Amino acid sequence: MDKVLVLKATENGTVGVEMPFDKEAGLDFYYQNLDCDTIDIVEAHGLVELKLEDFCLVCDDEGIFNGGKVNGIASLLYGFMEHGQPLVGHVMVCKNKYTDDGIETVGMTDDDLKTLYTAIEKLVHEYTNKK
């Protein structure tokens, strides 16, 4: 069963929660798990240097206007160091699947999740050790 990783922005930082991807629920799956009314799907620019172009981030499109908390891990995945814009609120990490009809957002395998966790560790290490 494919999964997603929800990066929840909390008072104490970001907490990751794995859950099954429910494609049949449509947009409601994102709204309920991200606690929002509108979403945006953005590229994980922070992973491009690691040759992981197929990951995407589903975020609250209005999080920054609703007083949400900055999501540090999601912001690293988004590549905020390059463009200065953090992600705010809960963020879901998914994968892009390229089809004849365009790009479809899908869940991840266990191997994808392991790759993602390794990449997150690397990004956090690089960010915290910058001088």
Residues 11-27: pLDDT tens digits? Answer: 888 899 999 999 999 99
Residues 28-86: pLDDT tens digits? Answer: 999 999 999 999 999 998 888 888 889 999 999 887 777 788 999 999 999 988 878 89
Mean pLDDT of 110-124: 94
* Helix, strand and coil in the chain, % to nearest 5: 40, 35, 30
- Dist CA 32 CA 100 (whole Å): 29
Helical (H) or strand (E) element with 21: none
Cβ proximity of 88 and 71 under 8 Å? yes
Determine if the pTM surpasses 0.85: yes
Does pLDDT of 131 surpass 70? Answer: no
Q: Which residue has the tokens 């899908």?
A: 106
